[in-house]
Structure 1
Amino acid sequence: MTLEILTPEKKLYSGEVYGVQLPGIDGLFEVLDRHAPIVSALTKGNLKVLNSKTSSSNYTIQGGFVEVINNKATVLVEGAVAL
């Protein structure tokens, strides 16, 4: 699955990933390879990029939206900091 994390200022992440865990407004959820199309609002919290089954990286986000379509997840956030 391809993941892009974008802020108004820059592209924070772009690449192939195993999955991503996101802080949705109704709770934490996970998107994996070949997920069904979805659009969801995000709240501030921790976004976890699952680079593989054994490694990950984390970002603190301020809120935004995620769109998943055609095995690509695009995360649009107001602000984010890599941890």
Structure 2
Amino acid sequence: MALNFELVTPERLVRSEEVYMVTVPGAEGDFGVLEGHSPMISTLRSGELAIYKSQGATPETITLDGGVAEVNESGLTILAEKLG
């Protein structure tokens, strides 16, 4: 099972790949997204996005400076205001 993950800035599509899990810096706290997560939309605070390529893997981190996260049946899309 894999989560379809996209990271987009106003300038371009930064990433589009299948991953195991992503931990997102939501405005009301961090939350993890796995495949099959319930649909939701959240604003993002400045912080680190942690991308796990496989279960138990060391996460790759990307610093964000605000934005919006949308989880739907297609996966997780992060619309970042800018990357840190």
Question: Any unmatched runs of 5+ in structure 2?
Answer: none
The alignment's TM-score, normalised by the length of structure 2, stands at 0.90
Q: Which residue of 1 aligns with 2:25?
A: 23
Question: Any unmatched runs of 5+ in structure 1?
Answer: none
**In structure 1, C-alpha distance between the alignment counterparts of 2:83 and 2:29, rounded to whole Å:** 19
Q: Which residue of 1 aligns with 2:72?
A: 69
* Contact 1:4–1:15, Cα closer than 8 Å, also in 2: yes
Deviation at 1:44, TM superposition (A): 0.4
Q: CA RMSD in A?
A: 1.1
The alignment's TM-score, normalised by the length of structure 1, stands at 0.91
Deviation at 1:26, TM superposition (A): 0.9
**In structure 2, C-alpha distance between the alignment counterparts of 1:60 and 1:32, rounded to whole Å:** 20
Deviation at 1:11, TM superposition (A): 1.3
